[in-house]
Chain A
Amino acid sequence: MTAFDEMDTGAAGGQSQSGQSQSGQSQSAQSPAQRNAVRAPYQDYKRWLDAAPAGLLARRRQEADLLFRRLGITFAVYGEGGDTERLIPFDIVPRIIAAKEWRRLRRGLKQRVRALNAFLDDIYHARAILKAGAIPEDLILKNAAYVAPMRDVAIARQTYTHIAGIDVVRTAEDQFYVLEDNCRTPSGVSYMLENREAMMRLFPDLFAAVRVAPVGHYPDALLQTLRESAPANCAAEPTVVLLTPGVFNSAYFEHVFLAEQMGIELVEGGDLTVKDDVVYMRTVGGLKRVDVIYRRLDDDFLDPKVFRKDSLIGVPGIFQAYKAGNVTLCNAVGTGVADDKSIYPYVPDMIRFYLGEEPLLANVPTYVLRRPDDLKYTLEHLPELVVKEVHGSGGYGMLVGPKASQAEIESFRAKILARPEAYIAQPTLALSTCPTFVEEGIAPRHVDLRPFVLTGETMRVVPGGLTRVALREGSLVVNSSQGGGTKDTWVLEDAPDIAAGED
């Protein structure tokens, strides 16, 4: 069997490519003894795996395929006409995190989201961090994701990102890096829940042998968070709805799933109407007041009176109602400026500035090319670095140094020199690998993790998240559009605080 540093000790760093990351030993250099030393969180699982009859995993995988095809048919039909919605492959080997590791991670996640919320409140009000010079002013005020109409708008609890998805990777024992913050409308939580359902159906005996913290209460925690976010003037039990762009949105099934699980109405723009700055939904019993909107609709489309005029899926007047304090939007408008790639390098500084604490979770070292020193270093080390456009996404406008040809590097060099402020650079990381069931059996594959952080009256982190896995050998790309799959994420439970999600 091959070594997986998620499961086995002594294999820090799966397949480091280059750059600053130090990747312990290469796999071939490991002694058999090291290979057999199973990391603590995987011990129970390994014992079960060793005792399992030959062929069990293959059989279970077939069952999983059937199970997901059944669910998948239900999911895939939403994408009919365009065929954009595909089934995301599911791997039957769980990714396991020890309780101790999780507590550290959770503290770090909460700290980070607290700082992000403080930052958003600050830049739309006092702008202390800009005045202090900790972040360049034009980086915020000229940012395309900065929503000027949000200036001085008072919102409930001063909370902007009620639901945040923070993408992290593990590179070594106790070393997590944050890859990306998602403060707008992070998706994928339905996979966390569906994957667990599937695993419990496929391996009931495993759940008897290993103490896995439950995740099924996420919809309750989310609903609780949304209720707590109601406007101050909301007297009775708040009415919460989920606003979807509609059936053609690629995440529609998640919207349906969450609305159903929370027992709230799934509304489209046309179901809502605004009268005297109050939002109502059209029901068979007449108009009903709405207090909290979990909106899975981008800022741009929210209100044609304020944002994109051509939006047919928004609600005219909703922004005015929001400003008047008569409705809460979750997440708030204008949160995109906090998860912009150009802002990411400053998050550790935000934590220090607002909380007076040292960051518990590290950022991937990032060179900001608007800084002359960083630009110089980057230009000298292009073959080792990943260079990203700050406003780009989905791998567009990106240079992967170790995989690029000399000609590609040179042409990118010219682009950087023309507009250095448009780029950042990062070393390629030695992502941890996790045992994954592929064609040839169990093999190591790279993984990342997106836990979801909820902020209401208190902060809640359900023990788990979306683990994405790069199913192609050696690939670091976990994106589902590039052969990525998902896994169930197990957080081992040793005390009740794990499931409660509170420290």
Chain B
Amino acid sequence: MLSRAADNLYWMTRYIERAEAMARILDVAQRMSLQTAAASRNGGRSDEWEAALIIAGCDTSFALHGGPATRKAVIEFLAFAPDNPSSIHACLKAARENARAMRAQITNEAWESINAAWLEMQTLGMKKVEADGFSPFFDWVRERSQLFRGVAEGTMQRDDANRFMRLGTLLERADSTARILDVKYHILLPSPGDIGGAVDYYQWGALLRSVSALRIYRQIYRDSIRPSRVAELLILREDFPRSLHACFAEIVTILQQLRQFYRHDYPSVRQAEGMLMKVRYGDIEAIFDAGLHEYLTDTIDSNIELGAAIARDFMQPA
């Protein structure tokens, strides 16, 4: 398979996953802002939208845009701004561009699914979505992403093309899970005394909901929502499909298959194996003791390094 094809397919699925992640980030911010609305009226800060910008990695570019981080301004910037390369609009466009260049490598169904998403996205704008409600729009983005993965899973040959598509999805997903979990670090509670209080509780609940994990949490823990368990679920549990553990486990499997097939000792494989070991044998108490935010920042950094290593190994050969 051509390196360029691998690169295109990898980025195609990364962008789709990123669009979905952005919808999830906006969704969690939206839910949290509703919880804290009452508190903020009593003098507490309501900075969910600032937090959304930070975890999306868009706070600097938003600042250049000027203006305060209101709900409307942030949603417009993260969902619709064509000049924000991380916006849902830009991600779907980029995914579709990559797919278009790879028409020969993906099935018609997969192409039609992504093309239809992009065509529909072009008919959506801030005005229309504001009138129809934000939540249905966030759901729509998530559904289109899930539909694409389902179609790809159900129609594509299980070959290298499929492997690089999965790698794109999984790397982006690991990144997004780490960022979403970090949201709590950026959102201050109305007062230190609120830790463990109602607002705190609802915020963790909103976070779980935004990664489709509330039900799974209840089934696994059969307990009320506690921060350490939420973190454990999202980082260490292999059976939760969006956890770092689940993502790294599949990344390692795929990279090992490539290593076996091409009989080459790729540095990226060892790097991914190292990351998998860290979550496989990790302990949530130790993570909290050292600082969850620091742990997540480290994870995001090593994720970026892993992406670069994969690119060096497969997509930019000499």
A78 at the interface (CB under 8 A from B): yes
A283 and B3 form a contact (CB under 8 A): yes
Contact yes or no, A282 B2, CB < 8 A: yes
A392 proximal to B (CB < 8 A): no
Q: Give the shortest distance, in Å, between B113 (CB) and chain A (any CB).
A: 13
Task: Assess A271 versus B264: contact at CB under 8 Å? Given A74-B111, A284-B258.
Answer: no
Instruction: Give the contacts of A257-305 with B (CB-CB under 8 A).
Output: 259-260, 265-268, 270-271, 281-287
CB of A284 within 8 A of CB of B100, answer no
Interface size class of B (residues with CB under 8 A): 20 to 34
B318 contacts the other chain (CB 8 A): yes
* B108 x A284 contact (CB < 8 A): no
**Which A residues are CB-close (under 8 A) to B286?**
none
A271 lies within 8 A of B2 (CB) = yes
- The answer to whether the Cβ of A200 comes within 8 Å of any Cβ in the partner chain is no
Q: Determine if B104 is an interface residue (Cβ-Cβ < 8 Å).
A: yes
Partner of B1, one of A253, A268, A283: A283
A355 at the interface (CB under 8 A from B): no
* Contact among B3, B115, B262, B314 with A271 in the assembled complex (CB-CB below 8 Å): B3
Partner of A287, one of B6, B261, B315, B317: B317
A268 to B3, CA, bound (A): 11
Nearest B residue to A247, CB-CB: B101
Question: Counting CB contacts under 8 A, is B103 at the interface?
Answer: yes
CA distance A336 to B275 in the complex (A): 57
Q: What is the interface of chain B mostly: helix, strand, loop, or mixed?
A: helix
**B-side contacts of A285, CB under 8 Å:** 1, 261-262, 264
A259 contact set on B, CB distance < 8 A = 104
Q: B100: which of A247, A260, A267, A270 is its contact (CB, 8 Å)?
A: A247
Instruction: List chain A residues, Cβ under 8 A from B262.
Output: 284-286
Which residues of B are found within 8 Å of A77, using beta-carbon distances?
100, 115
Which residue of A has the minimal Cβ distance to B316? A282
Interface membership of A256, Cβ < 8 A: yes
Residues of B within 8 A of A286 (CB): 262, 264, 317
Q: How far is the CA of A247 from the CA of B103 in the complex (A)?
A: 10
Task: Evaluate whether A281 and B108 lie within 8 angstroms (CB atoms) in the complex, with A77-B115, A286-B262, A287-B318 already known.
Answer: no
Q: How far is the CA of A270 from the CA of B115 in the complex (A)?
A: 26
Asked if B160 and A284 sit within 8 Å, CB to CB, the answer is yes
Question: Is the CB of B218 closer than 8 A to any CB of chain A?
Answer: no
Give per-residue flags for A359-375: 1 if the beta carbon is below 8 A from chain B beta carbons, else 0.
Answer: 00000000000000000
CB-CB under 8 A from B4, the residues of chain A are 268, 270-271, 282
CA of A283 to CA of B313, assembled, Å? 11
Q: How far is the CA of A212 from the CA of B100 in the complex (A)?
A: 35
Is the Cβ of A284 less than 8 Å from the Cβ of B164?
yes
| B 44-84 to A, binary, CB cutoff 8 A, 1 in contact else 0 | 00000000000000000000000000000000000000000
Nearest-Cβ distance from residue A97 to partner chain B, whole angstroms:
32
A-B contact pairs, 18 of them (CB 8 A): A253-B103, A256-B103, A256-B104, A266-B104, A270-B4, A281-B2, A282-B4, A282-B317, A283-B3, A283-B317, A284-B1, A284-B6, A284-B164, A284-B262, A284-B314, A284-B315, A285-B261, A286-B317
Known: A74-B103, A260-B104. 5 other contacts (CB 8 A): A247-B101, A284-B258, A286-B262, A286-B317, A287-B318
